[in-house]
Amino acid sequence: MNLPIPRPLLGAASALAAVCLLAHLPVRAAGQQDCPAKAEGVSFVCNVVNVEDLISLPSTPWLVGSSLHGVGSKTPPLYLFDAKTRKAQEVQAGDIRIARDAKTYPDCPGEPDLANFSSHGLDYVGRGKRGTLYVVNHGGRESIEVFEVDASGAKPTFTWKGCVVAPDGFWPDGVAALPGGGMVVTSLWDPKDNDRLAKLIGGKPVGAMAEWYPKTGWKTIGPDGMSGPNGVVATPDGKSVFVALWSGNKLMRLERESGRATVVELDFRPDNLRWEAGSKSILLGGQTATVKEAIEDCFAKAHVNCDIPFKVVRVDPRTLQSKPIVDSGVYGNMGAGTGALTVGNDLWVTTFRGDRLAIFEGRGRR
């Protein structure tokens, strides 16, 4: 799929803008780097591409990771990880069954282009070994694709059930499920806004957030002035959502009923959020770099791995105060970290540009 670059972005910054906005399109990449099982005290799961987000399937050893297209990468729809063996396997298009739920998703235009799938933010809800997986997709359409997951067998199986096409002007990033079959979705920018790149760099208002329910469709939520809404999680009762404002260097808690927003400043670019410890704390990861550095040194380069430092903090959802658990750095050639997931006693860390996942042993909270 070829998308035009708006004329105001052409010129000296054309390569930068093109790659930033169309990072999921595959082109020729730089060579692979060595990926040891362990380096600098950190363990790695190697030979995976751009696992930007990660979720666990409760009551099983399995994890599901997204796989975001980038410069030089053509990725599988999803990854499946065995937490016990720390082995990864690709979930290919042929592994996914199709059983459309037209009643719940009547406006979905049809099956996704699984051969061109580019997965981004994830969320999962379920009981026992069955549940629903929500996947932000940039391949073929801007959408949230919905899969039924069955982990009762030797390994999980995936059945596509339907989709929700993102609202006009959305480039979806994160998704959080809501009670009653709804969801909250963030948009990092408006792809029709010719000044979106400059707004991101300047920390100006850019992007949006909306919630969707089967009977009511899309509804815009959140205060004015948000800059780069990125990762999002919702409380189990759906009353509050927590949103990473990436280009604004802020974390926001939004009370959905009243619309009241509480915002705290951060010293890094917050990316993905994930609950841990029975929803008593939130893991928040992101990059310790400027927007311009992250784009020019990462998105606009055909590197397999980016040397953009990242950090991970643990957030108290009541006070929004955070404590560092992974110091800012690049670990064993892995940079551009996006978020973290507690797996047993360990912390698995994702990246938007890399051929590995990092495991920081003993830093999870059970």
pLDDT above 60 (res 29): no
C-beta neighbour count of 168 within 10 angstroms: 10
- Please report where in the chains the tokens 């909270």 appear, as a residue: 365
- The whole-angstrom separation of Cα 55 and Cα 62 is 9
Hey, what amino acid is at 12? A
Triad 219, 107, 147: Cα angle to 5°: 90
Residue 55: pLDDT over 80: yes
- pLDDT of 349 above 60: yes
| One CATH from 1.20.200.10, 3.30.379.10, 3.40.640.10, 2.120.10.30 for 23-360 | 2.120.10.30
> How many angstroms separate the CA atoms of 346 and 84, rounded?
12
Q: Measure CA 244 to chain center.
A: 11
128-137 as b/e, with b when 16 or more CB fall inside 10 Å?
ebebebbbbb
Is 12 a residue whose pLDDT tops 70?
Answer: no
Domain segments of the chain: what residues? 23-360
User: How far is Cα 306 from Cα 320, in angstroms, rounded to an integer?
Assistant: 29
Q: Residue 101 and residue 132: Cα distance in Å, rounded?
A: 13
Cα angle, residue 231 at apex, residues 197 and 80 outer, rounded to 5°: 115
pLDDT at position 74 is 76
Average pLDDT for residues 340-347, to the nearest whole number? Answer: 96
Q: Which amino acid is at 81?
A: F
Q: Which of 269, 244, 265, 268 is nearest to 254 (CA)?
A: 244
DSSP string, 220-239: E-S-TT-B-EEEEEE-TTSS
Q: pLDDT digit string (tens) for 283-324? A: 999 999 999 888 777 876 777 899 899 999 999 999 999 999
User: Predicted confidence band at 1 (pLDDT cuts at 50, 70, 90)?
Assistant: very low
Give the pLDDT of residue 331.
Answer: 95
CB 231 within 8 A of CB 272: yes
Which of 68-82, 200-214, 215-229, 234-248 shows the lowest per-residue confidence on average (mean pLDDT)? 68-82
CB 123, CB 54: distance < 8 Å:
no
pLDDT in tens, 171-186: 999 999 999 999 999 9
Determine the average pLDDT of the residues in 125-147.
Answer: 96
At 293, give phi and psi (nearest 5°). Answer: -65, -45
CA distances 99 to 49, 165, 217, Å, are 28, 18, 22
